[in-house]
Chain A
């Protein structure tokens, strides 16, 4: 039955010693979780560019605080009203102070006797405010609304999710039923009711967005907490008598961080959109206070004759949204390579 294969020592060849040793060596340096994610994120060009765009916008928006404040923005200068963009040294129609009026390019600056050394990079609005300043200020307000709303959404959602998942049993059941009920109320309805009751303004928009959007975060955190709860290191911590607070803070939150970061990245653009949406239909932030939504609303009224007044804020808003969405996708892929497509 068994066939003997005749093998002689000559048929084998010894490997060189050095190569053998190399097999055991780990070439790549060991990376922590965050380093690994950052390495993967760096490979995603779109996400990286988005990250820089967002940082740039934030620096410009928040760095403008000493130069552009609310007081200087409410001062109107009717003699400069509705001037188109003018950048000295750029002879392209549309950026040289000329505006298309019934098919012909007319130098609005000359017509309105604006001093030749006075110019507005992105033109002015109907009250003579510099549009560039208003856009930077409006972006700041939009970002503040989005970031603060997201922060509350995050804190509430994470705390609720961890509590629900950790306690389990009856508490979990009740907390989940509450979420079920809340999430089947359209967030629009919650936001509108909040805005109707509170005085329209930044605080109420932040509150409204935060209240209506935390349920998704809470659900995801709960599902993950349920899994983490049964891990050995959590069991070890419990056995050693750690308080639930400390376990949540030291073991659960770090392990939930990827979900938190990804979800945050999706909440921010939603909040930016909601703010713009509410201000656009006139129940959010209103003039003289500025946000991207207010600028869009103002620009839309004159869109037929002064299209630049809506185009510029619209472009800024779209770039902001695209950047956050791309970064969100990139972070999701970086933190969770399994879902990578």
Chain B
């Protein structure tokens, strides 16, 4: 176990190092300058600005400074927001994104489990068909289309929820739904497939023969056993939520990381792009590692590869 963990952590650091390196050199290749009106600036002004942001140093030195700074959480200063450190920008915005992502994950997974379980229990009836159709639609309708529709018809027309911005819980409802529908559809399909398998197995037959109630069978035997593989989906869900947050936060004007990321791309704000890239990568790598460990703990049949040899 310990050897396995060390190996995984090593790969994790390697991945992050690669991402940092690739990002850094790609950013240097980027077209455009960070200054919005460079034509109007004198050569001297540009030089002063370059010195201030460390852009006059040789590339390798910039790279080392960048790597060194990152080790203690310093991602440089944003070009877009004057003199604001990127780490501060990220720190002040991560709360909204994290809350939204967490809520969407809970919403999608919990509702997905319920829908998938109901579909599996009522297999090959109209309930099952309805659930399958819903999950196909949920998987196929892009979340940003759904977000615009929700925003217009539920927030603007019906006025049930605030249209945009970030305040209390009511502001989070629509973005959460829009973000969570993807994971919901995926979970429902996954749980249904898993449960149909489990419901056909011998131990369910035995449980029925023992005279357990239908609820008892579904809850204690079928659902629990089909929940375990769901852990493996947390990684892909995290990716989906990160991707989704970029566009959902934009539509609902939520001051989060995704919105910041889009803004920084459109304004050539290199340090912020690099900072958010590193944050996303680190987040995903950590989530994958944690889910692998959890999976090994809750399902003893899974032997972590590398722990045996």
Contacts and interface: CB of A to CB of B under 8 A. Distances in A.
Contacts of B139: 321, 325
Contact of A341 (B19, B26, B196): B196
A189 B281 contact: yes
B156 interface: yes
Given A193-B277, A197-B29, A282-B266, A269 B243 contact: no
Given A281-B250, A317-B142, A322-B140, A188 B22 contact: no
Contacts of A192: 261, 265, 273, 277
Interface stretch (B35-43, B47-55, B144-152, B226-234): B144-152
Residue in B30, B137, B140, B277 with the greatest tally of chain A CB atoms within 10 Å: B140
A185 B140 contact: no
Contacts of A184: 11-12, 15, 281, 284-285, 288
Contacts of B149: 314
Contacts of A283: 262, 265-266
Given A186-B239, A186-B284, A300-B148, A281 B247 contact: yes
Residue in A303, A310, A341 with the greatest tally of chain B CB atoms within 10 Å: A341
Nearest to A323: B140
27 contacts: A177-B11, A184-B281, A184-B285, A185-B19, A186-B243, A186-B280, A188-B242, A189-B19, A189-B280, A192-B265, A192-B277, A196-B26, A196-B273, A197-B26, A197-B31, A269-B140, A277-B144, A283-B262, A283-B266, A303-B152, A318-B137, A318-B141, A318-B145, A321-B141, A322-B136, A329-B136, A341-B196
Given A187-B239, A281-B247, A341-B197, 11 more contacts: A184-B11, A185-B284, A195-B265, A197-B26, A197-B31, A281-B250, A282-B262, A296-B145, A322-B137, A326-B136, A341-B196
Contact of A277 (B141, B156, B247): B247
B12 to A, nearest CB: 8
B225 interface: no
Contacts of A303: 148, 152
A336 interface: no
Interface in B192-212: 192-193, 196-197
Contacts, number: 108
B14 interface: yes
B209 to A, nearest CB: 24
Given A185-B281, A197-B26, A283-B265, A273 B196 contact: no
Interface of B: 11-12, 14-15, 18-19, 22-23, 26-27, 29-31, 136-137, 139-142, 144-145, 148-149, 152, 156, 192-193, 196-197, 239, 242-243, 246-247, 250, 261-262, 265-266, 273, 277, 280-281, 284-285, 288
A137 interface: no
Contacts of A214: none
Interface string A173-213: 00001001100111111001101110100000000000000
Contacts of B145: 296, 310, 314, 317-318
A273 B246 CA distance: 14
A152 B307 CA distance: 36
B239 A185 contact: no
Contact of B242 (A177, A186, A341): A186
A326 B152 CA distance: 29
B265 A196 contact: yes
B15 A181 contact: yes
Main secondary structure of the interface of A (DSSP, over half): helix
Nearest to A181: B15
A161 B165 CA distance: 46
Interface of A: 177, 180-181, 184-189, 192-193, 195-197, 199, 269, 273, 276-277, 280-283, 296, 300, 303-304, 307, 310, 314, 317-318, 321-322, 325-326, 329, 341
Nearest to B148: A300
Contacts of B30: 196-197
Nearest to A188: B243
Contact of A181 (B18, B27, B31, B242): B18
A220 B11 CA distance: 21
Contact of B140 (A177, A199, A280, A318): A318
Contact of A276 (B142, B196, B262): B142
Nearest to B239: A186
A188 B273 contact: no
Contacts of A322: 136-137, 140
Contacts of B136: 322, 325-326, 329
Contacts of B250: 281
A199 B31 contact: yes
A181 B23 contact: no
A102 to B, nearest CB: 14
Contacts of B273: 192-193, 196
Contacts of A189: 19, 23, 277, 280-281
A185 B238 CA distance: 12
Question: What 9 A-B pairs have minimum CB-CB distances, sorted nearest first?
Answer: A321-B140, A322-B140, A188-B243, A314-B145, A181-B15, A197-B26, A189-B277, A184-B285, A186-B284
A186 to B, nearest CB: 5
Nearest to B182: A273
Contacts of B26: 193, 196-197
B246 A188 contact: yes
A58 to B, nearest CB: 18
